[in-house]
Amino acid sequence: MEAGEAKSKKAEGPPRLCCICNLRRPVLKRPKTLQQICKECFYEVFEEEIHQVIVKNHLFKSGERVAIGASGGKDSTVLAYVLSELNRRHSYGLDLFLLSIDEGITGYRDDSLETVKRNEVQYGLPLQIVSYKDLYGWTMDEIVKMIGLKNNCTFCGVFRRQALDRGAALLKVDKLVTGHNADDIAETVLLNILRGDIARLSRCTSITTGEDGPIPRCKPFKYTYEKEIVMYAYFKKLDYFSTECIYSPNAYRGFAREFIKDLERLRPKAILDIIKSGEDFRIATTTKMPEQGTCERCGYISSQKWCKACVLLEGLNRGLPKMGIGRSRAGDVNGDHRNNNKETKSGPSVKSIESRKQCGSLDF
């Protein structure tokens, strides 16, 4: 060996090792902590953190039937995989199911549902698919043809919320889990502040919601970073679908998403800090909150005479699709203006729907 070569080898020093096990070569820098770690340790910390969130927050009870909202996207695919693993490893005693919604979007949902059907076989989880066409008589393709691309996500978001509850009822599950991750929740906190949507702000950081409704919903990925979910799916070679919805607009949420990503680049902990801030908000007792009732038409939970889905559907069926759309309080067919800016059990208001997760990466 030449003297110069030996010197340069010496300057490089011994190969750096994973900062957790100190045995293997690191293959990634963990986005949440910036630690250089190996693949095996990454799997372990990723799964263990989710297990701890489940245990500390008492998300499940043994014997429960749990539906996983499955879109075929990365979040819900990783959720289905990890939850099946943890259920076996830690004997949670859960009966797990996949629940998918077919909005009727050609070239998007039909393809992503093929992924979910493969996941059904890969993970051995029974799959239930509920379609807008069956429930409401309309596909999103038909709705977009009638209303254009301006308010399509309003219809889609309201219909999806009910469709998930109806699918969960078909499966007779006790709980519904969704793949919303820490980035989504931080984004929603910011959007609810920007919009002054106090009702949603008060509960958007809750790990379980809807306990007083038909089916409680949980978010086991509340503290899981999106980048880590992507890495996990990549290293585990999970089968997921990553194309955006062809009708996805939602620029406002896009700005919030970019802002969060910029903050994360500067300080990864910013995501967790925003969630913590959301958790610590206290809503003034003088703030008027929605009063829960039942939709006179379909019986679904609603704080108004008709639930939002029935209002929107009526508009579609009468050829007046703008009925129930927009912020005009006077335009509310219920004539009840108590809750225009608040998400109700029957479905969210226009304001809150606009701030829903952009479906390009949507995992319900």
Interacting residue ranges for ligand SF4, rule: CB under 6 A: 103, 140, 152-153, 156-157, 245, 247-248, 359, 362
Cα separation of 127 and 349, whole Å?
30
CA atoms within 13 A on the CB side of 343: 25
- DSSP letter, residue 292: P
Cα separation of 55 and 230, whole Å?
24
Q: How far is the CB of 356 from ligand SF4 (least distance, A)?
A: 7
Q: How far is the CB of 171 from ligand SF4 (least distance, A)?
A: 21
Q: Two tokens at 64?
A: 């429960």
Q: Which H helix or E strand runs over 98?
A: strand 95-102
Q: How far is the CB of 279 from ligand SF4 (least distance, A)?
A: 26
Q: How far is the CB of 149 from ligand SF4 (least distance, A)?
A: 9
Q: How far is the CB of 24 from ligand SF4 (least distance, A)?
A: 40
Using Cβ positions, the residue closest to ligand SF4 within the complex turns out to be 359
Q: Which is nearer to ligand SF4, 44 or 142 (CB)?
A: 142
Cα separation of 344 and 300, whole Å?
11
CA atoms within 13 A on the CB side of 281: 22
Q: Which is nearer to ligand SF4, 178 or 248 (CB)?
A: 248
Q: How far is the CB of 244 from ligand SF4 (least distance, A)?
A: 8
Q: Is 148 annotated as a binding residue?
A: no
Q: Is 71 annotated as a binding residue?
A: yes
Residue 141 CB contacts under 8 Å (≥ 6 apart), including other chains: 104, 105, 106
Q: Is 197 annotated as a binding residue?
A: no
Q: Which is nearer to ligand SF4, 245 or 274 (CB)?
A: 245
Q: Which is nearer to ligand SF4, 50 or 143 (CB)?
A: 143
Q: Two tokens at 357?
A: 């997760």
Q: Is 80 annotated as a binding residue?
A: no
Number of C-beta neighbours around residue 345 at 10 A: 23
Q: Two tokens at 358?
A: 């952009």
Q: Which is nearer to ligand SF4, 75 or 264 (CB)?
A: 75
Residue 223 CB contacts under 8 Å (≥ 6 apart), including other chains: 49, 53, 182, 272, 275
Q: Is 101 annotated as a binding residue?
A: yes
Q: Which is nearer to ligand SF4, 184 or 228 (CB)?
A: 184
Annotated binding-site members for ATP? 69-71, 75, 101, 179, 184
Which residues are documented as binding site? 69-71, 75, 101, 179, 184
